[in-house]
Amino acid sequence: MVTFGEKLRQLMAERGISQRKLARLVPCDDGFLSRIGNDRRRPSPELAARLDELLDAGGELAALRPSTLPPTPRGGTDEEIEALDLARRVAASEVGDDMLVALEMVVDELASAYALTPPADLLPRIRRHLGYVSALLDARMTLAERRRLIVIGAWLSLLAATCDIDLGQNLIAAARLRTAAQLAEHADRPEILAWVLETRAWQRLTDGDCREAIKLARGAQEVAPRKSSAFIQATAQEGRVWARLGAGPETRDALARVDRLVEPLARPDRPEHHYRYDPTKREAYTATTLAWVGDPAAEAHAREIVARLERPSDGPARPRRAASARLDLALALFAGDQPAQAAHTALEAVESGRLVPSNYWRVSQVITAVEARGVPEAAELQEAYRELCS
């Protein structure tokens, strides 16, 4: 039987209408429409009717709207939770070591998926596991087991907040960060608390509140264990904030401190893990920081990072990070008096479909700069950015 998504794609091809144009006509998010077209999301009755109308399907498309949600990719959150709960029941335990180890592995898997998975796709999985952890807290367990479960809840709350920030859901993110901080304090895990402060610093930076971001980044360094991933990341975050403020000496001091901290590190077994500092991250952060502060060396750094993320010599490509790195390259090109090329590079990032709302302000930066120079390419970039925001 033909699915709703298959019929949708067929009609789009027959009518010669692109996904972006159809999303604009609905109007709806281009990424959401893509997930519907791949049968990964169920459209509402209203959306199904609207798509049927726009594609002149005579009710045929709307009739294919599924009555239940399609299974989530990679096994799905429902199936993941069922598997975990079955293992707990087989072990005839409320909460035991096997269950906690399984949940700790889930945290590592989700934190590693963050770099490769759109936040809108990852967040539902995290939320489902958070709900399961919350339910388990009512079960019988030892004090040591409860502490481990609280730590798991803290990491999941922190990762969910990070996805919320990426999606521009700052009020929800703030609530999750408060929960993560409370759980970290209860379990006496200063590294998690430091990550909370570092994440809040990034949130303030994206909001343009640089002075508060500096305070939070420094607060994270005070709380974090020395040489921990959280300490290094908070130091790098401080450098980015100084760069946005245009403070050259402070920016280079922070970069030098990161270099000293990273120098003795070996590459982690899971370099994509969001909460384990990979030494190669230093180069990407350096490119961003130099671009923001207007350093002439930024262009070469940014080009190298884009190439490495799109065509890595080992491991998977990182399209989300590559799109963000193109914005760094765009700013570096503008600083190097190449405004037309800067606009083109930023347009590539916008049209990649990989940018998240927490990066939109960086696109706006490039648009403001190239429009001030009267670059013709600025109009196309502005139009693409409007479509992205809508």
pLDDT on residue 88: 53
CA torsion 304-309-315-320 (nearest 10°) is 160
C-alpha to C-alpha distance for 77 and 19, rounded to whole angstroms: 27
Phi, psi of 263 (to 5 degrees): -50, -45
Q: What is the mean pLDDT of residues 36-56?
A: 83
pLDDT at residue 196 is higher than 80? yes
pLDDT of residue 8: 92
CA end-to-end span of the chain, whole Å?
A: 34
State residue 92's pLDDT score. Answer: 42
- The percentage of the chain sitting over the pLDDT mark of 90, rounded to a whole number, equals 40
For 205-210, which contacts have Cβ atoms below 8 Å and span 24 or more sequence positions? Answer: 205/237, 205/240, 205/241, 205/244, 206/165, 206/358, 206/361, 207/170, 208/361, 210/241, 210/244, 210/245
pTM: 0.71
pLDDT grade for 82, boundaries at 50, 70 and 90 = low
Q: What is the mean pLDDT of residues 47-75?
A: 75
What's the token pair of residue 214?
A: 């500096």
Specify the pLDDT at position 72. Answer: 44
- Residue closest to 176 by CA, chosen among 155, 194, 190, 191: 155
The answer to whether 160 and 169 have CB atoms below 8 angstroms apart is no
Task: Determine contact, residues 177/196, Cβ cutoff 8 Å.
Answer: yes
**pLDDT value for 359:** 86
The answer as to CATH 1.10.260.40 being correct for domain 4-64 is yes
CA distance 97 to 94: 10
Closest CA to 37 of 61, 60, 54, 56: 61
**Is-contact 261 238, C-beta < 8 A?**
no
Listed by start position, the domains of the chain span 4-64, 74-188, 296-390
Chain CA centroid to CA 374, Å: 33
Which range among 12-26, 100-114, 292-306, 310-324 has the greatest average pLDDT?
100-114
Task: Report d(CA 80, CA 77) in Å as an integer.
Answer: 5
Segment 322-346, tens digit of pLDDT: 888 899 899 889 888 999 999 999 9
User: CA nearest 193: which of 209, 208, 182?
Assistant: 182
Could you tell me which residue, 326 or 97, shows the higher pLDDT? 326
Mean pLDDT of 363-386: 90
Please give the backbone phi and psi of residue 318, each rounded to the nearest 5 degrees, phi first.
Answer: -120, 75
Query: Does 90 score more than 60 pLDDT?
Result: no
Residues 38/4, Cβ–Cβ less than 8 Å:
no
pLDDT at 241: 94
Average pLDDT over residues 366-371: 90
**Statement: residue 252 has pLDDT above 90:** yes
The two structure tokens encoding residue 133? 């952890």
**Predicted pLDDT at 322:** 87
Query: Do the beta carbons of residue 331 and residue 338 sit within 8 Å?
Result: no
Nearest to 297 by CA among 248, 264, 340, 341: 248
Q: Which is more confidently placed, 271 or 174?
A: 174
pLDDT at residue 70, rounded to an integer: 44
